[in-house]
Amino acid sequence: MTARIIDGKAFAAGLRAKVQEETARLKAEHGIVPGLATVLVGNDPASEVYVRNKGKTAEALGFNSFHFSLPSDTSEVEVLARVQSLNDNKAVHGILVQMPLPKQVRESAVLDQLDPAKDVDALTTVNAGLLVSGRAQLISCTPMGMMMLLKEYVGDITGMNALVIGRSLLFGKPAAQLLLAANATVTMAHSRSRDLPALCRQADILVAAIGKPFFVKGDWVKPGATVIDVGINRVDAGEGKYKIVGDVDYDSAINIAGAVTPVPGGIGATTIVNLMRNTLIAACLQSGLNIPAI
């Protein structure tokens, strides 16, 4: 059997069109233009690319886009002041402070400064707590993309065994909460878990968010399982080139899984568009309007 390929890119294109349509409607009916502000401290090349892509996507969807580049030696006090001025700016509905931050700036201090209503990455303790309580309106972008793809490709996951490998605040923990809310039986694994292959073999939904290329082997996958590969790893492709691969040994998993997300073009493709969806949701909530059903 060869697994179905979960086409995150095509799904993201459809979602993007819906966000664009709802953005146009918000402007036409209420005169509101969603505003996304990005803050980059330092000049990490990968972060520069991410932030630039976010700004470009926001503009393409008709948002107002604001960008602030701060030097790598900016003090924590200055970064917090920048965040506070964006909290106070009514034209800004979503704020994204690109991580990682230089070591003199604590991520926890920045997140504590951020207005949870504008926290479109859903990383603040308020939004993490609302997710656990089942009352979240802004949900972490990549886990949200995972749930959308599962809904599209698997449907009802009630009673299924889901294994999430990785327990980050950014992905693993919110992903487990969302799977639990969708009535899966959820197990979380991490670097101290015992016998990971055996845990994997019980999973109807196997989610890998580890950051290690080809870590999950095909013979760990339960036949017919849905495999969600969140990893983004740069590996040498010879001749001074590199390529992006996931955490799952795709070539072996594809012969055993029922469905699998490729890397690239799988789960990662949905992240930026969910950031835009969150900014649109934040703009509606801050204006006292209902959230669009997208």
- The footprint of ligand NAP (CB under 6 A) covers 142, 165-168, 170-172, 189-193, 196, 209-212, 230-233, 267-268, 271
Token pair of 271 as six digits: 């992240």
Nearest approach, Cβ of 106 to ligand NAP (angstroms)?
16
74 versus 226: smaller Cβ distance to ligand NAP: 226
For CA atoms 61, 151, 179, 219, the dihedral sign is negative
Q: Which of 113, 119, 121, 249 is catalytic?
A: 121
Is 121 an annotated catalytic residue?
yes
Q: Which of 54, 118, 173, 222 is catalytic?
A: 54
**Helix-helix angle 141-153:271-286, to 10 degrees:** 110
228 versus 280: smaller Cβ distance to ligand NAP: 228
Question: Long-range contacts made by residues 135-139, C-beta under 8 angstroms, separation at least 24?
Answer: 137/281, 137/285, 137/291, 138/278, 138/281, 138/282, 139/174, 139/178, 139/278
C-alpha separations of 253 from 46, 200, 202, 269 in Å:
29, 12, 15, 20
128 versus 267: smaller Cβ distance to ligand NAP: 267
Nearest approach, Cβ of 273 to ligand NAP (angstroms)?
11
Nearest approach, Cβ of 91 to ligand NAP (angstroms)?
27
26 versus 170: smaller Cβ distance to ligand NAP: 170
Nearest approach, Cβ of 138 to ligand NAP (angstroms)?
16
Q: State the CB neighbour count (10 A cutoff) for residue 76.
A: 16
Is 54 an annotated catalytic residue?
yes
For CA atoms 37, 43, 46, 48, the dihedral sign is positive
Strands 259-260 and 4-5: parallel
Token pair of 153 as six digits: 């490709």
Task: Please say whether the beta carbons of 227 and 260 come within 8 A.
Answer: yes
Is 286 an annotated catalytic residue?
no
229 versus 286: smaller Cβ distance to ligand NAP: 229
Task: Please say whether the beta carbons of 186 and 219 come within 8 A.
Answer: no
Nearest approach, Cβ of 212 to ligand NAP (angstroms)?
6
Catalytic center residues: 54, 98, 121
